[in-house]
Structure 1
Amino acid sequence: MPAISHKGAIMPSSPVRKLVPFAEAAKKRGIHIYPLNIGQPDIKTPSQAIQAVKDTDMEILAYSHSAGNESYRTKLVTHYNKIEMGLTIDDVIVSTGGSEALLFTMGSICDYGDEVIIPEPFYANYNGFATASGVTVRPIPTKIENNFALPSISDFEELISDKTKAILICNPGNPTGYLYTQEEMNQLAALVKKHDLFLVADEVYREFAYDGREHLSVMNIPGLEQHAIMIDSVSKRYSMCGARIGCMVSKNKEVMATAMKFAQARLSPPTFAQIAAEAALDTPQAYFNEVIGEYIERRDILIAGLKNIPGVEVANPGGAFYCVAQLPVDDTDAFAQWMLESFQLDNETIMVAPAAGFYSTAGVGKNQIRIAYVLEKESLIKAVQILAEALKAYNA
């Protein structure tokens, strides 16, 4: 029988989606599941985005420009320049989600065997994107005890070699919710300039910064123009995950010209979704104020509830809508599967994302889970109750 590729064999499974078959089986048994595993907000998509697609009058659903519709890119640049990024339309390539933007980035700045340093835990698909691109991830550990703050610069420098091409961060972080301080961002900026590296910042949760803190974009740091690459997406900002529209942003002309070749190879991003994303840019600030207020309330309820469970340790997120919790179990993969297969409370259970898949270092994070607080507050309260009872039963 013909063999599959080595790259395919080592491609990691998604910690977010790999338990879906067990959840589907539980639903068939009549079990209600609270999905805490995936960052799919229950917030309504802005109505103007949906209406723009409904109002579209076209006889041919045609390709767009490979970089995305000019009208969308122009409006997107105006949106970014409200926070003084100083961009032009040539600094933006529209992608099929932030995922494709990350693939374009790795393809543009890395050759096979090159290395990217990433603080872990990190968005699980970074492992997959790196595998698909032939890139080696060099993880640098962060700790739940200090909310997964940036490691020391000396720790970064110990990992830098002649194969290192970039440092990749998610800010605010998925899965940790950590929001980098201005000092930390400036430290990273100085580091990449010192070693002539790229600083790639996944900023898809930019708007979701809490407790009076502000997000500092990699595009707002002076002197980083040739080093900075920003990844963005409409998925979380406007609760438009299914649109699959993101973008890659950089002022480095050589990087963008290279990325354009990858963009041309896939032809163009989705036409209808660009129409929706362009309309979504008109969303008033009141929408975000309400959404941010809701997420802060959800976070506070969830964190307080988790801290009341014996043996559970949890970091307090400063942004996004995730947290990482450490549980009194040896293997959260087994525990998460058990909750779907063998546990229920009043005919209900929960689905979580085992956190080992958010690490690149083997064996790390096996007693942790990621929780997405994207459900209404009453559901989060019930989900915490279920988790507490499940832990009692599992450890009995």
Structure 2
Amino acid sequence: MPKISNKGLSMPQSPIRKLVPFAEKAAKAGKSIYYLNIGQPDIKTPTIAMQAVKDADIEVLSYSRSEGSEQYRTKIANYYKNNDIHVKHDDIIVTTGGSEALLFAFGSIMDVDDEVIIPEPFYANYNGFSTASGVKVVPVISKIEDNFALPPIEEFEKLITPKTKAILICNPGNPTGYLYSKEEIEKLAAIVKKHDLFLIADEVYREFAYDGATHYSILQVDGLEDNAIVIDSVSKRYSMCGARIGCLVSKNKDVIATALKFAQARLSPPTLAQIASEAALETPQSYFDDVIEEYVERRNVLIEELNKIEGVQVANPKGAFYCIAQLPVKNSDVFAQWLLEDFDVDGETVMVAPAAGFYSTPGVGLNQIRIAYVLNTESLKKAVNILKEALKVYKD
């Protein structure tokens, strides 16, 4: 029998999706499930985006340019200008989701066995993207006791080798919800300039900054033009996860020219989704004001309820819509599966994402889970109550 590649065997399972078969089985058994495992907002997609697809006068659904339509990229550049980020349309390549933008970035700046330093915990698919690209993730651990703040910059410097090509951050963070300050971004900017590295920032949660804080982009740092690569997406901003439209942004012309070759190899991003995404740029600020108010309320309810559970420690997120909770269990993978297979409260249970998959360091995060607060407050209260009751009876 032909063999699967070593790369294929090394590809990690998604901690967000690997429990889906158990959830489906639980649902078929009649259980109601509160899905806290995946960042799929229940916020409605802006009507203007959906209407644009309905109104599209298209007789032939053709390819777009490999880098995305010029009209759409020009409007993206204007969106950035309104956020005090000054780029041109030809600094932007439209991609099939932020995922493809990351793959293009890895492919453009790193060769097989090169290294990227990432504060962990981090978005689980970074492990998958690095494996697919033949790149080694070098983790620097941030701690729940520090609310997952940026580790001391000296810890990054200790890890830099001749193989190091980039530092990657997610800001605000998935899965931690941590929002990096301007001072933290400037520390990272200084170290990548000192060592001639790239700084990649996954900024897909830019709009979701709470408690009066503002997001500071790496593209706003003076003198970082050659080092900065931003990953962006419409998925969370406009609750358009299924559109699969993102972009790679950089003022480094060599990066853009190289990424374009990867874009040409896959032909083009989806045409109808670009139409929807272009229209979404006209979404009024009131939409975001309402969404942020809703997420702040959800966060406050979630953190308050989790803090009532004995033995649970939780970080307080300042952005995005995730948090990491540390539980009094030995292995959250086993616990999460048990919740679906063997536990319910009045026919209801919860699905969470075990957090070990958001680390690359073996054995770290085994007693943690990621919670996406994408449900309404009433559902969040019920879900946390189920967790509380489950922890009363669960035995490792």
CA RMSD across the alignment: 0.7
Shift of 1:207: 0.4
Partner AA of 1:192 in structure 2: V
Aligned partner of 1:310 in structure 2 is 310
Partner AA of 1:18 in structure 2: K
Aligned partner of 1:148 in structure 2 is 148
Unaligned 5+ runs, structure 1: none
CA deviation string 1:270-318 (max 9, x = no partner): 0000000000000000000000000000000000100100000000000
Aligned equivalents of 2:309 and 2:362: distance in 1?
Answer: 27
Aligned partner of 2:366 in structure 1 is 366
Aligned partner of 1:385 in structure 2 is 385
CA deviation string 1:183-225 (max 9, x = no partner): 1000000000000000000000000000101110011111100
Aligned equivalents of 1:164 and 1:68: distance in 2?
Answer: 31
Aligned equivalents of 1:161 and 1:221: distance in 2?
Answer: 25
Aligned partner of 2:3 in structure 1 is 3
Aligned equivalents of 1:80 and 1:182: distance in 2?
Answer: 17
Q: Counterparts of 1:13-32 in structure 2 under 5 Å?
A: 13-32=13-32
Aligned partner of 1:234 in structure 2 is 234
Q: Counterparts of 1:126-145 in structure 2 under 5 Å?
A: 126-145=126-145
Q: Counterparts of 1:175-194 in structure 2 under 5 Å?
A: 175-194=175-194
Aligned equivalents of 1:179 and 1:122: distance in 2?
Answer: 13
Aligned partner of 2:202 in structure 1 is 202
Aligned equivalents of 1:84 and 1:304: distance in 2?
Answer: 35
Aligned partner of 1:38 in structure 2 is 38
Same amino acid, percent of matched pairs: 71
CA deviation string 1:213-239 (max 9, x = no partner): 111001111110000000000000000
Shift of 1:84: 2.6
Aligned equivalents of 1:231 and 1:197: distance in 2?
Answer: 17
SS at match of 2:303: helix
Aligned partner of 2:103 in structure 1 is 103
SS at match of 1:85: coil
Q: Counterparts of 1:348-359 in structure 2 under 5 Å?
A: 348-359=348-359
SS at match of 1:68: coil
Q: State the aligned residue count.
A: 396
Aligned partner of 1:243 in structure 2 is 243
Partner AA of 1:125 in structure 2: N
SS at match of 1:156: helix
Aligned partner of 2:263 in structure 1 is 263
SS at match of 2:390: helix
Aligned partner of 1:55 in structure 2 is 55
Aligned equivalents of 1:99 and 1:259: distance in 2?
Answer: 13
Aligned partner of 2:74 in structure 1 is 74
SS at match of 2:317: coil
Aligned equivalents of 1:27 and 1:83: distance in 2?
Answer: 43
SS at match of 1:150: coil
Shift of 1:81: 1.1
Q: Which of structure 1's runs of 4+ aligned residues deviate more than 6 A?
A: none
Aligned equivalents of 2:302 and 2:82: distance in 1?
Answer: 33
SS at match of 2:38: coil
1:12 and 2:12 are equivalent in the alignment: yes
Partner AA of 2:366 in structure 1: K
Shift of 1:395: 3.5
Aligned equivalents of 1:266 and 1:380: distance in 2?
Answer: 40
Shift of 1:394: 0.5
SS at match of 1:158: helix
Shift of 1:358: 0.1
1:212 and 2:215 are equivalent in the alignment: no
Aligned partner of 1:84 in structure 2 is 84
Shifted more, 234-243 versus 79-88: the winner is 79-88
Partner AA of 2:228 in structure 1: A
Aligned partner of 1:118 in structure 2 is 118
Give the structure-1-normalised TM-score: 0.99
Aligned equivalents of 2:392 and 2:271: distance in 1?
Answer: 50
Partner AA of 2:294 in structure 1: E
Shift of 1:146: 0.8
Shift of 1:98: 0.1
Partner AA of 1:122 in structure 2: F
Q: Counterparts of 1:270-349 in structure 2 under 5 Å?
A: 270-349=270-349
Shift of 1:85: 1.9
Partner AA of 1:351 in structure 2: M
Aligned equivalents of 1:70 and 1:185: distance in 2?
Answer: 30
SS at match of 1:248: strand
Unaligned 5+ runs, structure 2: none
SS at match of 1:258: helix
Partner AA of 1:77 in structure 2: A
SS at match of 1:288: helix
